[in-house]
């Protein structure tokens, strides 16, 4: 039976110090979000499993997510954080060899003020080390960073990379759609690059979005990547800024049913299992 996977969600115990990026306007997120809560939502929405993605850039975060995966069987994979520029990165990775739930890593590139951060030779070296040890990489960027991301991808042709949140185009305004689409098409040509249909609602008009707002973006993603390299992620609990878990899931469900119903299982499970080796 196909495992139905939410390929992108987060857990946290909220503190102002650790989650300073959550502003007052986002106060719905200023509380704990833990596996017990997600377990209920997954069952209600006919999902079996999830991939927990880092929300803090610390080794403590990585270790905590691994602990949660060890405790809760439905957490099938962890995307953690390590300093990919660290001289001892390889030694650090060897320390996780007995943690098969750790599947990959992510850096919050969208928050880096220097657009060339991701092209630093030390960072690229770190990505090569990830690939050497069988890990994958979640690419978290804004659409305006796509030109740099394309240069990055060209330097690591054998590293499995997934673009988080369709690279965060400006869905609310529609600004830059063509530029976003052109580079997403280029990235999709690399066989090692996948895309998550996740995090879209937070780039839309949070209070007034309609499912049709996402159709041009979903068309572009599926036309570029096909149904074999796209995976669903809820981005829970961040998605709660714009809707319930079921609201977010149904954006993709309602799109797939008339357009690619035969590939529903791929987007909602098979591709995530393959990419993350769940």
DSSP alpha helix (H) spans, the chain: 35-44, 59-71, 89-94, 121-132, 146-155, 177-188, 215-225, 245-260, 264-265, 271-276
What pLDDT score does 22 carry?
77
What pLDDT score does 103 carry?
98
pLDDT digits (tens, 9 = 90+) for 58-82: 999 999 999 999 999 999 999 999 9
Taking alpha carbons only, the member of 106, 108, 81 closest to residue 21 is 108
What pLDDT score does 2 carry?
85
pLDDT digits (tens, 9 = 90+) for 190-238: 999 999 999 999 999 999 999 999 999 999 999 999 999 999 999 999 9
Pairing of the two strands 193-197 and 5-9: unpaired
Which structural domains are found in the chain, ordered by start?
5-276 (3.20.20.140)
What pLDDT score does 68 carry?
98
Instruction: Quote the pTM value.
Output: 0.96
CA angle 218, 207, 194 (to 5 degrees): 25
Reply yes or no on whether the pLDDT at 104 is more than 90.
yes
CA distances from 130 to 119, 193, 233 (A): 16, 15, 23
Output b/e per residue, 192-226; b: 16+ Cβ within 10 A: bbbbbbbbbbbbbeeeebeeebbeebbebbbebbe
Reduce the DSSP state of residue 63 to 3 states and report it.
Answer: helix
CA distance 47 to 50: 8
Mean pLDDT (whole number) for 46-69:
97
Report yes or no: 195 and 166 within 8 Å, Cβ to Cβ.
yes
What pLDDT score does 48 carry?
98
CA distance 10 to 57: 13
pLDDT digits (tens, 9 = 90+) for 13-36: 998 887 777 787 788 899 999 999
Report yes or no: 253 and 212 within 8 Å, Cβ to Cβ.
no
Output the CA torsion sign for 97, 103, 107, 108. Answer: negative
């Amino acid at each position: 039976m196909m495992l139905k996977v939410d390929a992108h969600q987060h857990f946290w115990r909220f503190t102002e110090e650790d989650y300073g990026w959550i502003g007052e306007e986002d106060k719905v997120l200023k509380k704990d979000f833990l596996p017990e809560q997600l377990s209920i939502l997954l069952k209600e929405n006919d999902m079996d499993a999830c991939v927990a993605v880092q929300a803090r850039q610390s080794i403590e975060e990585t270790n905590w997510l691994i602990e949660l995966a060890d405790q809760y069987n439905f957490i099938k994979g962890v995307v953690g954080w390590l300093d990919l520029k660290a001289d001892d990165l390889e030694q650090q990775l060897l320390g996780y060899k007995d943690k098969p739930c750790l599947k990959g890593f992510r850096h919050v590139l969208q928050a880096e003020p220097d657009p060339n951060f991701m092209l630093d030779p030390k960072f690229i070296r770190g990505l090569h080390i990830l690939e050497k040890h069988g890990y994958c990489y979640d690419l978290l960027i804004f659409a305006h960073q796509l030109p740099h991301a394309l240069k990055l991808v060209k330097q690591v042709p054998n590293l499995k990379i997934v673009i988080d949140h369709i690279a965060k185009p400006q869905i609310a305004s529609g600004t830059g759609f063509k530029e976003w689409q052109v580079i997403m098409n280029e990235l999709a040509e690399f066989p090692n690059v996948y895309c998550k249909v996740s995090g879209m609602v937070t780039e839309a008009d949070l209070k007034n979005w309609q499912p049709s707002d996402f159709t041009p973006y979903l068309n572009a993603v599926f036309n570029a990547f096909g149904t074999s390299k796209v995976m669903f992620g809820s981005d829970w609990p961040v998605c709660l800024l714009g809707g319930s878990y079921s609201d977010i899931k149904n954006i993709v469900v309602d799109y797939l049913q008339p357009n690619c119903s035969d590939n529903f299982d791929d987007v909602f499970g098979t591709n995530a299992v393959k990419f993350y080796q769940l």
